[in-house]
Amino acid sequence: MTNDLTTWLDNLLAELDGISVRRTSRRRLRVEVASDALPALLELLRGRASFVHLSAISCVDWIDAGQFELVYHCWSYETQSLVSVHTRIPREPGVYISVYDIYTPAAFFERDIHEMFGVWFEGSPDLSKFILTEWDGPPPMRKDFDSEAWVNQHFDWQDYHPDWLKDLEARGGGIAVPPDEQRFSRRTVDET
Amino acid sequence: MRDIDHQDRGGLLGPLKNLSFFARQPITEPLGPRPAAANYRGFHLNDWDLCIGCSTCQKVCDNAAITMVKVPGLPEDPVKGIRNLRPAIDYGRCCWCALCVDLCPTGSIALSCEYVHTCLDSELDSYFILPDARGIHGTPYPKGWAKSTDADLVALDRQPMTEQAPAERIGNFSEIVAGYDAHQALIEASRCVQCGMCHDACPTHMHAPEYIRAIWKGDLEGAVREIYRTNPFAHTCGRVCTHRCETACSVGHRGAPIAIRWLKRYAMDAVDHARVKQIAAEGRADFISGKRVAIVGAGPAGLTAAFDLVRQGHDVTVLEAQAQGGGMVRYGIPDYRMPADRLDRDLDVIISLGVKIRYNTRVGVDLTMERLRAEYDAVVLGVGLWMGRSTRVPGADQAGVKRAVDLLRAVAAGEAIEVPQSAVIIGGGNVAMDSARTLARLQQQRYGEVRITLTALEDLDHFLADADEIREAREEGVQILEARGPQEILMREGQVAGLRTWGVRSIFDGAGRFAPSYEPADEQIHAGDMVVEAIGQAADVALLGEALTEVLQWHRGRLQVDGQGRTNLEWLWAAGDMVRGPDVVSAVADGHRVADSIHAYLSVQEHAP
Amino acid sequence: MRPENYEAQRQPPSYDYELNIGPNHPGIEGNYAFKLRLNGDRVIAGRADAGYLHRGFEKLMEGRLWIQNLAITPRICVPDPVPMEVSYCLAVEDLCGLVVPERAQWLRVMQLELSRIAAHLFIFGGHAATTGMYTPMFWGIADRDLILDLFEEMTGGRVYHIYNIPGGVRRDLPDGFGERVANTLDYLESRLPDYDNLLFTNQVFVHRAQGCGPISQQQALEWGVTGPNLRATGLKFDVRRDDPYLVYDQLEFEIPTEEPGDAWARALVRRREIKESIRIIRQVVARLPTLAGPIRCPIPNPLAWNVPAGSTYTRVESSKGELAWYVVSDGGERPYRTHVRGPSQMHAVQVLEQLAIGCRIEDVAQIMFSLDACPPEVDR
């Protein structure tokens, strides 16, 4: 039964123009679609193919390509499969259409993406600030925002002077390699 | 059907059932501290005897909680790969993930079974600790999360190197190792934890972490660029380097060190030779200084100095007695370890930068040192160790007794030599192994069998040769006899017939001086048509001429130089084996030192009125 | 929002008033604010206000090595950290094509289900407390501590275990652990009737919970409700069964459902799930001795590990609902992008705002707790 539905879905999607479909596993389907065709596709998925659950909308900032990638993860309780619909929009001006009229949960994800990436969703019910209420800097999840640099500008490292350190310094030792010089948990490290 | 006793309207009595709890024994927990579970991730412990200060913990710490602190008085030995640094932990940042434990190369770091640390604001410094084996509060809590094979993240196993099997390789002089392929190189490079112990241990301080990283990233040209920062004998050192880097490698403490030498070999072989030349030429001075430097000897030391000086805009001429360059690398190291065509590539890079080499020009015969002094602004001696030492046992002056350096040079130069049906080698160093294995190949080619006996004063554990060399020589059929002292060359009908040896009682006397004593009762005769003496070499300094020899300062038969390789004469430097002892990479390091010193000297001259 | 930055909204004169619950309030789960507009004690509108726990984890993870991110993942959801770890590892494994040894998969299931029980006990007590009954809360937290003891032994950490690693887990079980798990499970099982007595036969709880914050199945699907909250509306759906991961397809367990979709139904579903999780763990304990072998497949040196380019969406069933990671690699040493989809992102915002309308002020806290909304999941 499930397999029949899966085949049916594959066939349905295959008939549509301008989309590329790749089945990555039995329950996962990756669909790429042009941004202007996406709402119609979601409409189709929800209305005709039982994908009633919008699991999430993810946004990826492909800064080098000058694009935002929006990924709509839709789940069907009937076919028990997940379709991830990928689309790309230009990073500037970063405006897209809301799918709130198709999926209610989109309101949260669109608000979140607007706040974190600065994408404006036309028709979304509420794009007001949510998590970053008092933030007036650039949308922080954008790749060109360096959160660590911001933190270093605004906060001080704890300055420790324990006795053992004073003692070592008196004997000619002391801090040789501060953590910032060596650690790998920072993107800039091995670019140097 | 109902698995839960619930009521749709609810009652009052149900909850009252739990009043029975008043009749139960209360649960009490003792107030005293309890140790946590055996795997608990508490506060850091560090075994200072195991810790080598490599700072890998600092690299993997995702919160920048680790500071490396210099502790004076702790052992510090770059050659062994030990630094006097120890990690200090900032508990304002630590998140207790224990990746520092799992990636610690030595296994010195662990976390304790201790739960709590807290303090007043005024004692905030207590959040920054320098852990040792006693723990944060100095109280004995047992080790919790420690190194385990399950969670160990250090890749301990080396990528195997494909080699010719003994039966296959004994019949030819082609290189034994096949080299890594791209996949092997990538995996091997990925094992590196970037601690830089190799860099510190290397005589010429090669940027091994950087080129290993570049190889891992697939940036082979970048790797070559890093290699050429410090070593123009890149192909050579990718093959025959004594790889002190690998001895110091921190991964080697519990596993096999990164195959740094083979990775260098891989990078050099993988990049197109024409591109290597371009990379080596990057950063070369775009002016001509007008200063002239003469270098005697086209070996690693001399040519490295030449490479540096040419890059700095000086005019360099190298005078070489042999028909080809490379010095001992060409004439002392057999082809199965160091193929001549790879050495040619190294030389080609150096020559392409503008170094002029005059071959077949023997200083002291074809032209004098005095003339060099007159024609050049500075002179470097880098003549290598070409004079084999003799055992001076009776018969050692016979024609059938060869010095290893002469033998190896003749083979390398392609001269016809008489291949003995059986041979005895005296000596336990790498040169002895080279001689034995070279003769073994010639015998195999000529007679189809190997009959070589190698005798050395030392017992096997104290052989000077690399363990690999000994193993491979044995695999190739060389019979190795330890602790034998040569007594006499045996003759039959005017021809060398063998060597008589006695067992060795001891090599050094009570004061540590070389004074071997023998056990005459333990006498053996080793048959051989040829005896090869491979017990050491010296530099032939006759080229200096009497007058110069007189004014130069000497130390135990070696030319005395300062830290920069300069002799007591302002215009004369010396470098390489003749001042350092035999080692390619030390010679390269020496070449750099001398070049720096000369460049400084020439620059000062320039500015002087 | 800091108090000094708060400005009361200007409204036409009326008897309506505004009330902030949180960010520090016993009626709110965690640091979270719910701003109510009230008329009398009747809620006219509610507005969720998050951000008090925002640590920028998704951004942080873009700057850290694949393995270093393990330390971050459990911290996204404090009461139920394990599904975060596991689903992140599943994502990395999927991208790398790593095959996790079977033993490790069973160990993960054990850890996941222990975590589910711990989280349910936690919220179970919390829910009771919002109806004025604090005993179940004390009990829930005390009994949860027994599971934390097991975690301490199994993983080395009580709350943040960092036990999973791409490719498997970091430690095998200590000796005799199966027995101690069995003992704890027996004890917890014996405690369930005590909880039932206090809650489900209790007139106070019954009256307060029944009919409180009802969600119809239709609404649940519309609003993206998942997990126990969805099952409380009668839909038999569980990621473990219907989109299986690890070895859940080899385990026997029921998916409890209830029809009414109110706070009462949600509490009952959780209560039943505790029982099912106990059942699952018992199967794991019985199975583990038959599974020898490694607990981790070989992985590269963490300092030099490029994950092949690609993206993946891995879902698991956390104690609160559908939890998923969308992980994108550009082939580098660090994730290009990680996006966590926590169930509370729906439950604590849109669903809560909807359910609050028209309810009475004293039910707001109950609704939030009965939804098991976890603010750190919203904030990340």
Which CATH number do you get for residue A87?
Answer: 3.30.460.80
Specify the number of domains making up chain A: 2
Shortest Cα distance, chain A CAs vs residue C127, angstroms: 25
**DSSP label at residue B177:** B
Interface with chain B: mutation pick from C55, C64, C152, C196, highest number of B CBs within 10 Å: C152
Cα(A153)–Cα(A38) distance, integer angstroms: 41
pLDDT-based confidence at B563, cuts 50/70/90? Answer: confident
CATH class, C57-379 region = mainly alpha
In a domain, B13, yes or no: no
Quick one: pLDDT at residue C186?
92
Note whether B460 and B371 are same-domain residues.
no
Q: Which residues of B touch A (CB under 8 A)?
A: 55, 58-73, 84-85, 88, 90, 92-93, 124-130, 213
Which CATH number do you get for residue B39?
Answer: 3.30.70.3270
Note whether A131 and A168 are same-domain residues.
no
**Residue C64, token pair as written in the block:** 């850290």
Shortest Cα distance, chain A CAs vs residue C148, angstroms: 30
Q: Which of B 130-189 lie inside 8 A of C, CB atoms? A: 144-145, 148, 150-151, 153-155, 187, 189
Cα(B166)–Cα(B176) distance, integer angstroms: 9
Note whether A61 and A110 are same-domain residues.
yes
Note whether B403 and B271 are same-domain residues.
no
**pLDDT average, residue stretch A171-186:** 77
**What residues make up the domain containing B605?**
288-385+545-609
**What residues make up the domain containing A134?**
2-149
Query: Is C224 near chain A, with CB under 8 Å?
Result: yes
pLDDT-based confidence at B4, cuts 50/70/90? Answer: low
Q: Which chains share 3+ C-beta pairs under 8 angstroms with C?
A: A, B
Q: Which of C 305-334 lie inside 8 A of B, CB atoms? A: 305
The CB-side HSE value for B178 (13 A sphere, CA atoms) comes to 12
Quick one: pLDDT at residue A187?
47
Instruction: State whether C165 and B151 contact (CB < 8 Å).
Output: yes
- Is the pLDDT at B609 greater than 60, yes or no? no
Quick one: pLDDT at residue C129?
86
- Is the pLDDT at B1 greater than 50, yes or no? no
Which CATH number do you get for residue B396?
Answer: 3.50.50.60
Cα(B45)–Cα(B142) distance, integer angstroms: 10
* CA torsion through residues B483, B486, B492, B493, sign: positive
- Is the pLDDT at B416 greater than 60, yes or no? yes
Q: How many CB pairs under 8 A join B and C?
A: 143
Specify the number of domains making up chain B: 4
Note whether A117 and A131 are same-domain residues.
yes
Select from A149, A167, A182 the last residue of a domain.
A149
Q: Which of C152, C162, C275 sits opposite B40 (nearest CB)?
A: C152
Shortest Cα distance, chain A CAs vs residue B69, angstroms: 4
Q: Give the pLDDT confidence of B64-117 residue by residue, as tens digits.
A: 899 999 999 889 888 888 999 999 999 988 999 999 999 999 999 999 988 888
Q: Average per-residue pLDDT in chain B?
A: 87
- Is the link from the previous residue into C3 a cis peptide, with omega within 30 of 0? no
Interface with chain C: mutation pick from A131, A154, A191, highest number of C CBs within 10 Å: A131
pLDDT-based confidence at B2, cuts 50/70/90? Answer: low
A chain contacts of residue C59, beta-carbon cutoff 8 Å? 140-141, 147
Cα(A105)–Cα(C346) distance, integer angstroms: 7
Shortest Cα distance, chain A CAs vs residue C363, angstroms: 24
B chain contacts of residue C165, beta-carbon cutoff 8 Å? 151
Q: Are B510 and B484 in contact (CB under 8 A)?
A: no
Note whether B408 and B381 are same-domain residues.
no
Residue scoring higher pLDDT (B304 or B365): B304
Question: Strands B378-381 and B572-574: what pairing?
Answer: parallel
**DSSP label at residue B17:** G
**Residue B576, token pair as written in the block:** 């390489």
Note whether A127 and A159 are same-domain residues.
no
Q: Give the pLDDT confidence of A11-42 residue by residue, as tens digits.
A: 777 667 678 777 788 788 888 888 888 888 88
- Parts of chain C with a pLDDT under 70: 1-3, 6-13, 26-27, 29
In a domain, B163, yes or no: no
Quick one: pLDDT at residue A191?
44
Cα(C204)–Cα(C201) distance, integer angstroms: 9
Quick one: pLDDT at residue A151?
85
Cα(B359)–Cα(B12) distance, integer angstroms: 110
Note whether A20 and A74 are same-domain residues.
yes
Note whether B411 and B531 are same-domain residues.
yes
Shortest Cα distance, chain A CAs vs residue C270, angstroms: 21
Note whether A108 and A136 are same-domain residues.
yes
Three-state secondary structure call for residue B180: coil
